[in-house]
Amino acid sequence: MGERGAQNAAAGAAPEEAPQRVLEAAAAANDAGLRAWQGGDLESAANAFQRAAAALDRAEAVLPRSATEHNLALVRMRQGHLDEAARLLERAVAVAGDGTAERDLHEAAVRLTLGQVARRRDQLDDAAGHYRRALNLYRRHGRTGDVVDVQINLAVLDERAGRLTAAWNRLEAARSAADDADERLSWAAATTTMSAVAAQRGDFATASVLLDGARAVYENDGLPKELADVLTNQGYVHLHVGDYPQARWCLRQALALFTQMGMDLDRARLQGGLASLDRRMGDLHAAADGYAQALHTYRDRGAAREAAGTLVNLGVVACDAERWDQAVDFLQEAEQLYARLGSLLGRATVAHNFGVAAAGRGDWQRAEDYYRQAQSLYRKAEQPRQAAELETNRGIVAAARGNMEAARRHYRRAAAGCRALGLWMPLARCRHNWGLTWPRTSAKRRSMVLPAWLALDATRFTLHRPDERAHWREETGSLAAAAFDVAATDPMLLAELVERARAVGTVDVASAPALGVVARALPWAVTDGPRRSPAPQPEEIIGSLAVRAPAQVHCGWELQLAPYDREAQRLRAVGPNPPPSSDRAVPLGALLRADGRPGR
């Protein structure tokens, strides 16, 4: 979108001595390239631009030839041929520099594309230098729409570095400027990029609204690549909130568009996205295959950041399958790539998953070391939610080592962080774990475990799809078991809990503890480490009736659950409903793009 300023061969005056028929042939080839580009036929576009550039070279039309080579570089970049694109761009930028508006704008357009190539190579300092030069040139000549496009690309660099607040503020300003200047496509680009930043923050509701607005623009203007980007982001949003059928539909639609356009890197991203969906639905074999296919493409094309994210995801799948050594191998390779790329968030994610693998093997000291390292990196990368939730994992490690006092300190800090951020679901899970550090028959255990489960279980009444409710039952199963176990010491309280569970369909999850069969501590601590959800059965997906809230239970005595219900309500009042689960896979990888298109 920033390349509207790239002047193609049809723009700019040719030397008077150039044969007219050569220029006409060049213009016709250039127009054919533009039509093929708009239709998504990248190979035909490349062939047409090559013919146009050759004709202009014979005619010694320097600037039009350079602009046409710029268009060819854009095609090669989309195809993933970054080295060839860089060579073409270095040649194109060499003709700039005489200070005229025409050449300044040509240089700005080429600089913007050079920045995008550098970004895809993870050379972020080089990218920033090209963007700043382009920004100054566009400002000099009052090109509002192009200034917005450069600001979007600078925001992507902020996001890459983990500076989410800076990225959001820059995008808000760019979006407002595009709206004021009636630059629809720049507005849509800023909106799409804002959606990805919102998703990185965990604000999926805002991300969804933003994507709907951008999608309407791209559908109206018939832009397949931009539409595919939006569909990809929408698929990931649906994936994170548990709407798996809609996620698969969006991702498959985007995959078809990218495949049709011959965009191999983007096709690989969609293969990884569908692999993430397979993992969430419990098909680990399919997930590993999908990630492996994507990784092959990334390595072949030298896309280091995307390769690192895919290696993290392969490590997560290995953790899911309890193949700890294999997980470590994948994560070590990802760690090396992220260290070379200087990605704080990537390094934090790797350290987090190293901790999960160490905990899985029972190496508690190493798990604590990795969690502490990840927590520090999350804070530096402006990820307070992950930092707060990791305090819960550190509490689990301390409890596993038998140090309940240390575990309570971690849970207390985690609870304070979650409350300050308005994260009631992580807060409820934290208090659940905190309660498990007290003796089974103690009032403190009951006062924490019961409200946590009641608060989380009540979420099912806000879910309208059966597959979402099935996902939620998976998420809260261990909490239900612990709640029944802690209530088993009070016959009246247990009777109320059993009656309520029977009314809302929870009794099948926790029937054994309810009947007193389980009378020992179970591994009920909940973590935000990798987890998967079972695939919903077809008959569950067909219907979408909301679950009714349970009727009031009358037991013939004053209800024992009442104070726990009140505490559950206070927990839910801490903040809005976030997505049902968090995940340490790399979900939104490289969705922040402003790759552009040749301009007329």
Q: Read off the pLDDT of residues 252-296 as tens digits, 9 standing for 90 and up.
A: 999 999 998 888 888 998 999 899 889 888 899 999 999 999 999
Residues 6+ apart with CB under 8 A from 152: 1, 2, 171, 174, 186, 189, 190, 193, 594
Share above pLDDT 90 across residues of the chain, in percent, rounded to a whole number: 32
Q: Specify if 481 maps to a domain.
A: yes
CB 505 within 8 A of CB 468: no
Give the pLDDT score at 560: 67
Per-residue buried b or exposed e for 81-105, using 16+ beta carbons within 10 Å of the residue's own CB = bbebbbebbeebbebbeeeeebbbb
Q: Specify if 341 maps to a domain.
A: no
Mean pLDDT of 83-92: 88
Mean pLDDT of 219-239: 90
More reliable by pLDDT, 105 or 528 = 105
Give the pLDDT score at 464: 54
Give the pLDDT score at 461: 60
Give the pLDDT score at 257: 93
Q: Specify if 468 maps to a domain.
A: yes
C-alpha closest to that of 577 among 458, 431, 452: 458
H or E, element range at 526: none
Whether pLDDT at 238 is above 60: yes
Q: Which long-range contacts (CB under 8 A, 24 or more apart) does 193-197 make?
A: 193/152, 193/155, 193/156, 193/159, 193/592, 193/594, 194/168, 195/233, 195/237, 196/159, 196/233, 196/588, 196/591, 196/592, 197/155, 197/159, 197/164, 197/167, 197/168, 197/171, 197/592
Residues 6+ apart with CB under 8 A from 380: 162, 344
Give the pLDDT score at 527: 45
Looking at residue 461, the DSSP 8-state letter turns out to be: G
Measured from the Cβ of residue 495, the count of other Cβ atoms closer than 10 Å reads 17
Q: Specify if 32 maps to a domain.
A: no
Number of alpha carbons in the 13 Å side-chain half-sphere of residue 124: 16
Convert the pLDDT of each residue in 529-571 to its tens digit: 332 222 222 222 222 233 333 334 344 445 666 777 777 777 7
Q: What is the dihedral of CA 340, 341, 346, 348, to 10 degrees?
A: 50
Question: How far, in Å, CA of 204 to CA of 214, rounded?
Answer: 15
Question: How far, in Å, CA of 203 to CA of 199, rounded?
Answer: 5
Give the pLDDT score at 466: 56
Convert the pLDDT of each residue in 418-460 to its tens digit: 888 888 888 888 899 999 999 988 889 989 988 888 888 777 6
Give the pLDDT score at 40: 65
H or E, element range at 342: none
Q: What is the mean pLDDT of the chain?
A: 78
Backbone dihedral region for residue 282 (phi beyond 0: left; psi -120 to 50: alpha; all else: beta): left
More reliable by pLDDT, 9 or 129 = 129
Split at pLDDT 50, 70, 90, the class of 381 is: confident
Of 9-18, 263-272, 493-502, the one with minimum mean pLDDT is 9-18
CB 131 within 8 A of CB 112: yes
Give the pLDDT score at 311: 95
Mean pLDDT of 205-223: 92
Could you list the residue range(s) of the whole structural domain that residue 505 is in? 442-520+557-599
Q: Specify if 226 maps to a domain.
A: no
Q: What is the dihedral of CA 61, 64, 69, 73, to 10 degrees?
A: 170
Please give the model's pTM, rounded to 2 decimal places. 0.67
Give the pLDDT score at 469: 61
- Treating both helix axes as pointing N-terminal to C-terminal, what angle do 562-572 and 424-435 enclose, rounded to 10 degrees? 140
Of 39-53, 157-171, 252-266, 580-594, the one with minimum mean pLDDT is 580-594
Split at pLDDT 50, 70, 90, the class of 577 is: low
More reliable by pLDDT, 362 or 533 = 362
Share above pLDDT 70 across residues of the chain, in percent, rounded to a whole number: 77
Question: How far, in Å, CA of 35 to CA of 38, rounded?
Answer: 5
CB 453 within 8 A of CB 509: no
Backbone phi, then psi, for 282, in 5-degree steps? 90, 0
Question: How far, in Å, CA of 314 to CA of 312, rounded?
Answer: 5
Residues 6+ apart with CB under 8 A from 337: 304, 305, 307, 308, 311, 346
Q: Specify if 575 maps to a domain.
A: yes
Measured CA to CA in angstroms, residue 477 lies from 107, 508, 524, 568 at distances of 60, 10, 9, 17
Most confident of the following: 72-86, 357-371, 449-463, 576-590:
357-371
Q: Specify if 300 maps to a domain.
A: no
The residue type found at 476 is T
Looking at residue 303, the DSSP 8-state letter turns out to be: -
Give the pLDDT score at 201: 77
More reliable by pLDDT, 199 or 78 = 199
Whether pLDDT at 597 is above 50: no
Question: How far, in Å, CA of 128 to CA of 187, rounded?
Answer: 22
Q: Specify if 474 maps to a domain.
A: yes
Number of independent structural domains in the chain? 1
Give the pLDDT score at 474: 65
